[in-house]
Chain A
Amino acid sequence: MGKMSVDLCGITLDNPIIPASGTFGYGYEFAELYDINMLGTFSFKGTTKDARFGNPTPRIAECSSGMINSVGLQNPGVEKVIGEELPKLAKCFSKKVMANVSGFSIDDYVYTCEKLDKCDQVGWIEVNVSCPNVHGGGMSFGTTPEASAQVTRAVKSVTTKPIIIKLSPNVTDIVSIARACEEAGADGISLINTLLGMRIDLRTRRPVVANKMGGFSGSAIFPVAVRMVYQVSHAVNIPVVGMGGVSSAEDVVEMMLAGATAVEVGAANLIDPFACKTIIEQLPTVMEKYKIDSLKEIIKGVR
């Protein structure tokens, strides 16, 4: 194993860098720009049982050091993802991919996870119980320990691959939710999803995004993410995948010190399509600067 490699739920990643779901499509747009096999893996676009168009546009708003999106889980549905997107991905990505799944009922999650669990290309299933964009949908599962545990148990009962539950930061006590997921059998936890945010156009006096509110991401949320990764990773005994505003190799090291086993990079990919490539290339220099021999040794290394 290399200096940058880490183990995520029994699968070795060459490095801990994982483009986050919703910022990397199904991979092949980025494969036109660089060899995406250099990534640890990536988490593909949030996939649901049925195809979804998502929310009305505008869906995007500028913020200080960040952005709001209210895409609303646009995706072609799990059948098309398996039938069309994964075969296309196979041509440019030879590693195991992380499948990201959302749903609006327990049955939705079970249906979608069961299908993806049978795909050889899929290494992990990241279950999004936290998307803040859909009225009465994913949000409700991630906001209570009971509902999060219920989704975890249901999904675990129909799958064999590692299940990583992706948590929302828009809750009163994220630690109790993470613990409930662990007790229900989760193999890992990833956090944080976007923070619920809103912008208003002064000229029109209307919200900038059509759905009024959306998920706030970008470097502005990094300190919140580090804090929550720290809290959760010190409360559970399963690996934590840290994300939220990560945009440099230094951020990756900080996130790992806080407790992350691997690190997802989200909004940064949208501003700089080469963000993950650059981070991976800069990691050795940053490791040398901070006298880090092996990345896995710094996980939860904060004193």
Chain B
Amino acid sequence: MKQGFFEITENLPLTDTVYRMVLSGDTSAITSCGQFVNIKLDGLYLRRPISVNDCEDGRLTIIYKVVGKGTEQMSRMQSGKLDLLTGLGNGYDTSLSGNAPLLLGGGVGVPPLYMLAKKLKAEGKSVTAILGFNTKSEVFGEKEFSQVADKVIVTTADGSYGVKGFVTDAMNGLDYSYFYTCGPEPMLKAVYSASNSEGQFSFEERMGCGFGACMGCSCKTVTGYKRICKDGPVMKKEEILWEK
């Protein structure tokens, strides 16, 4: 983990509520895809954890949805500096992917899978990505994923774009060696049930610190209590205990 200031170089809407922010700064602590950053914002006490969409040579991209005060404030920033904690969380382990990994993202669970898709592709794997949204106006990322994945399927719950239904509807019938997923918990549960291979899930929780100190985001797993921020956010399928 590192703490540092990042310069905002771009901050543009991708949909009505989802924005992409590009920052420049010291990204050396970001060592794995699926990690997150924790952002300090003026006038707000707790930092805001946001997943890393892409990271290369001091250029960091995050994609976030405006859901409250913090993200609303972020959406209005066009320039300036942000205080970030970087390199948080464990990230996805690509060594277990096999030759044909499947990526399943839902809503703002899609962004962290982009850097993962790039890495898997660079490792010579055949990558399929299913990107799930509620409706056509909420779809983003299809073009970017098309450039790094072998096959991209977009689903919308109302059928207004791509395959009608949930990511799990598009998952059935696909051949894959392993899967990686990130999205809202009901989607993760559905993927857990529908999948016929091992895989990794990225979880979300309200966090205090984001680096393992406060025990604010703990969960129970097969192998004991884990902190989503430090021991996660990525957990393997065989570790997961569904509680709620």
Contact = CB atoms under 8 A, between A and B. Distances in A.
Nearest to B44: A62
B218 A32 contact: no
Interface string A250-274: 0000000000000000010111111
B153 interface: no
B217 A271 contact: no
Nearest to A58: B206
Q: What's the dominant secondary structure at chain B's contact region? A: loop
Which of A24, A66, A272, A273 has the most C-beta atoms of chain B within 10 angstroms of its own C-beta? A273
Contacts of B25: none
A193 to B, nearest CB: 15
A67 interface: yes
B170 interface: no
Contacts of A219: 45
Interface in A30-75: 30, 32-33, 45, 53-54, 57-67, 69, 71, 74
Contacts of B215: 22, 25, 45, 54, 59, 71, 74
A273 B85 contact: yes
A24 B209 CA distance: 10
A57 B219 contact: yes
A216 B205 CA distance: 19
Interface in A15-33: 22-25, 29-30, 32-33
B239 to A, nearest CB: 16
Given A62-B44, A71-B215, A270 B206 contact: no
A84 to B, nearest CB: 12
Interface in A186-227: 208, 218-219
A240 B104 CA distance: 55
Given A57-B219, A69-B216, A273-B211, A29 B206 contact: no
A29 B211 contact: yes
Contacts of A33: 1
Nearest to B209: A270
Contacts of B1: 32-33, 273
B211 A271 contact: no
A53 B47 CA distance: 24
A92 to B, nearest CB: 15
Contact of A271 (B46, B212, B218): B46
A195 to B, nearest CB: 15
Interface in B21-48: 40, 44-47
10 contacts: A23-B214, A57-B219, A64-B45, A66-B45, A67-B46, A69-B216, A74-B215, A269-B209, A272-B3, A273-B209
